[in-house]
């Protein structure tokens, strides 16, 4: 029996193969966050708390239907204010 190729000796994927397909009909949370003006982790927290239509939880995160972006933007509203803990509670002292 001839020896089998080790997985380590297989060719690595080229950069062209690693790019995301443009013909898909869904978005990642990072892409949706960019479109809505949210930070990604805040968006994931909001999606986790609500069962919005067009949002599907997968083993790897969320799969968002691209047709439901406007509905999600209206349902989620404005992005929450960015919290900066280093500036919270600071008062001017003279």
- Give Cα separations from 69 to 3, 17, 20, 29, 47 (angstroms): 51, 27, 19, 11, 13
Q: Is residue 48 part of a domain?
A: yes
Q: What domain count does the chain have?
A: 1
What is the predicted pLDDT for the residue at 16?
63
Q: Is residue 86 part of a domain?
A: no
CA atoms of 28 and 49, how far apart (whole Å): 17
CATH number at residue 38: 1.10.1660
**Residue with the larger pLDDT of the pair 59 and 49:** 59
What is the predicted pLDDT for the residue at 6?
63
Q: Is the pLDDT of residue 82 over 80?
A: no
pTM over 0.85: no
Q: Is residue 16 part of a domain?
A: no
CB neighbour class for 72 (10 Å; exposed up to 12, middle 13-18, buried from 19) = buried
Q: Is residue 37 part of a domain?
A: yes
What is the predicted pLDDT for the residue at 84?
62
Q: Is the pLDDT of residue 90 over 60?
A: no
Domain that holds residue 38: 23-76
54: left (phi over 0), alpha (psi -120 to 50) or beta: left
What is the predicted pLDDT for the residue at 17?
60
**Residue with the larger pLDDT of the pair 5 and 50:** 50
């Amino acid at each position: 029996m001839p020896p089998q190729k080790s997985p380590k000796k297989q060719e690595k994927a080229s950069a062209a193969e690693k790019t995301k397909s443009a013909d898909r009909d869904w978005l990642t949370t990072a892409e949706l966050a960019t479109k809505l003006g949210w930070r990604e982790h805040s968006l994931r927290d909001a999606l986790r708390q609500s069962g919005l239509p067009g949002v599907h939880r997968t083993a790897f995160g969320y799969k968002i239907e691209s047709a439901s972006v406007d509905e999600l933007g209206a349902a989620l509203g404005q992005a929450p204010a960015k919290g900066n803990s280093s500036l919270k509670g600071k008062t001017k002292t003279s």
